[in-house]
Amino acid sequence: MTKYFKAGSLWAGLLFTACISHAQELFVFSEPASNMPAKSMGVRLTSNIMTQRMTGTPDYQLLPEVMLGVNKKLMLHGEGYVSNSNGTTRVEGGGVYAKYRFYTTDNMYRHFRLAAFGRAGSSGVSRVKEEIETNGLQKGYELGFIATQLLHKQAISASVSFEQVVGNSRQTGFPGEAMNYSLSTGRLLYPSSYTHYGQLNFNLMVELLGQHSLNNNKSFLDIAPAIQFIINSQTRIDVGYRQQLYSTLSRYSANSFLIRFEHTLFNVL
């Protein structure tokens, strides 16, 4: 009986430590360099609500997603794209995402992570704008790097990536390649101190998200504040708003709301 009690206490302690380490690193509009726990599976539903710039009509996009924590270094995602971009709600396509954490330093209440990621997606949405977005709008791929620093209750993350459209999305008159970049920071506001892994977490964050076309030298920059709730260390709710600061690129929408629900199952793989 004693050995089972010790094993259970060890497992709970490891889970508690993982919750503390990753609580402030779950950004809303970008991915951190950290991964979800090994041998875990997650389901996620993201809803983007926006207004079309040409018509002024409301538009929405749903992204159902399944996530796998293969091991402590590798994470895989598979997602679908559902939208009403053509007047009726329908499945537009899908994509895959992979992230590999290749560098880690750990210290008390702080750590640093470096990761490489790749995304490939395909969508049936007709391209009518210069903005490149292979996560739901165009067929193509994205490759990049992420760096994340955790400093007790504050996390800072930055990413840079190359994105290219292919196939039907590579139309004459529209850019085909772009560099993307992001700078994100988030802070744990509640609880002030941890006593158990079932405590509600409340995070506040803000992100800068930009794109620079490699074909016509145009660009845009957005700011995206968000709030985040983590319930029982497994369920996550995000609410965010993305606001354009400036743009010389024609875009599908300058501003949008994001609502996300995510649930993680530990040790299922």
- Give percent of the chain above pLDDT 90: 69
Q: How far apart are CA 19 and CA 186, in angstroms?
A: 15
Name 88's Cβ contacts closer than 8 Å, sequence gap at least 6: none
> Please, what are the domains in the chain?
2-265 (2.40.160.40)
pLDDT for residue 4: 36
**Phi, psi for residue 258 in degrees, rounded to 5:** -125, 130
1 pLDDT above the threshold of 90: no
Contact assessment for residue 182 and residue 209, using Cβ atoms and an 8 Å cutoff? yes
Stronger pLDDT, 4 or 64, i.e. the higher one: 64
pLDDT for residue 255: 92
Q: What is the DSSP letter of 36?
A: P
- In the numeric block, the tokens 């709730």 are attached to 229
Which residue, among 191, 240, 180, has the nearest Cα to 16 in the 3D structure?
Answer: 191
Contact assessment for residue 146 and residue 32, using Cβ atoms and an 8 Å cutoff? yes
Q: What's the pLDDT tens digit per position in 162-207?
A: 999 998 888 878 999 999 999 999 999 999 887 777 889 999 999 9
| Neighbour-count burial of 33, counting CB atoms closer than 10 A to its CB (0-12 exposed, 13-18 middle, 19+ buried) | buried
Single pTM value for the model: 0.88
Name the amino acid, one letter, at 53.
R
Stronger pLDDT, 23 or 149, i.e. the higher one: 149
| Neighbour-count burial of 200, counting CB atoms closer than 10 A to its CB (0-12 exposed, 13-18 middle, 19+ buried) | exposed
pLDDT for residue 84: 85
Residues in the chain: 269
Token digits of residue 138: 């165009």
End-to-end CA distance of the chain: 27
**pLDDT grade for 56, boundaries at 50, 70 and 90:** low
pLDDT for residue 241: 97
Where does residue 193 fall: left (phi above 0), alpha (psi -120 to 50 degrees), or beta otherwise? beta
CA 169, 28, 258, 47 dihedral sign is: positive
Mean model confidence pLDDT for the chain = 88
**Phi, psi for residue 4 in degrees, rounded to 5:** -70, -35
Q: What's the pLDDT tens digit per position in 84-108?
A: 877 788 999 999 999 999 999 998 8
Token digits of residue 127: 């391209």
119 pLDDT above the threshold of 70: yes
With b meaning 16 or more CB within 10 Å and e meaning fewer, what string describes 131-166? bbbbbbbbbbbbebebbbbbeeeebbbbbebebbbe
10 pLDDT above the threshold of 70: no
